[in-house]
Structure 1
Amino acid sequence: MNTRRAFSTDDPDVNPYRLLTALVVPRPIAWVSSLGADGVANLAPHSFFTVASNRPPVVQFTSVGAKDTLRNVRATGEFVVNLASEPQMDAVNQSSAPYGADVDEAAALGIAMEPSDRVAPPRVAGAPAAIECVLHSTVEVGSCTLVLGRVVSFSISEDALVDGVPTMAALRPLSRLGGSEWGLPPEVVSLERPLEPPSG
């Protein structure tokens, strides 16, 4: 018989963040580039990231605490989600360091940037894909803030597209796991979605 241990979130010795990030896995990484009101650029990874709506297209990431990205997005109303790809793992990790608000992480780490198509914040030149967004809304949830961005443009490397759709083999996305663990591109399997419930 499987024996379980209960961790009550009311227990002061229980760290919900450590358990959540170890259980909600793998988590895709939004490598967000933004600009401050003063024009200083910021580049930081956020591993609480997902799709919020398909019509209109909206993505969301969560700022755990009041970070530079959140301040910039609120000030300018724009940001870019760069896809964090396996060849960039070290750069993505290094950009998570607690740099000052007056520091451009990309410049400090030698990460090449390029102009975006529809928004002012630049995108990561080496990222296989970038999602350009304008701020839809923010939602306060405890000590965190959900940032919802309406997608205005997708910029995808031609090398990553097959029949107009990006492939996992080309994107090679990174993910975050628990603690200091990272997920590398997963094994991919294909299953057709059922058109009706199974009989019997």
Structure 2
Amino acid sequence: MIINDFATAEYWNRAYKKGRTDRIVTPLETELFRYYVKAVPGMVAVDIGCGTGAWSRALASMGLSVTGYDISDVAVAEASSLSSGHNNLRFAQWDVNGDSIPPYLAPRSVDIITCRLTAAFLDRQRFLADAVRWLTPDGVVHIVTPVHEQLSANGLNMDGLTEREISQLGEGWKEVSRYNVAVDGSTTAVLLQYRA
């Protein structure tokens, strides 16, 4: 299923071949994640839409066992080459919107699922239904997204979710919380826990 023109491997392969890079992971973003998610070394994490792996590497540096997935095989190759020093980190190409689920994502096998700046490109209904099955009983989904209304007000042209779409992320989840990743409110994080 194609969510928009930017949700194809061909588009992202071209972008990464032309030098696209991930948005820098700031110390504030990392500290907020640690505070809200309560991640501890040894937990299993999956990074959906990992790009060239900047956020995946940040998670691995926290001691998490991380698999980064991206639709672009060009991004996955670059992420792998940039991450050779991490034994607890691997990458794989996967179209979360269209491909079958990788065997690594077995039911109740993942403590943390992250989706940093990629929710606008996902079939969110399918993704979140799958995430419920992958999570351990105390597992969490951590979604970071630009806020469309804030971007428009600041004249920025980035893909983000509207406030309505952000509020819909929590439908059907037992625990939902949210915090701002950017001081100006242009980027927000949503935490979802199902607690089966």
Alignment TM-score, normalising by the size of structure 2: 0.23
- Report the structure number with the largest CA radius of gyration: 1
- Higher relative CO (CA 8 A, sep ≥ 6), structure 1 or 2? 1
Whichever structure has more helix as a proportion of its residues is 2
Whichever structure has more strand as a proportion of its residues is 1
Alignment TM-score, normalising by the size of structure 1: 0.22
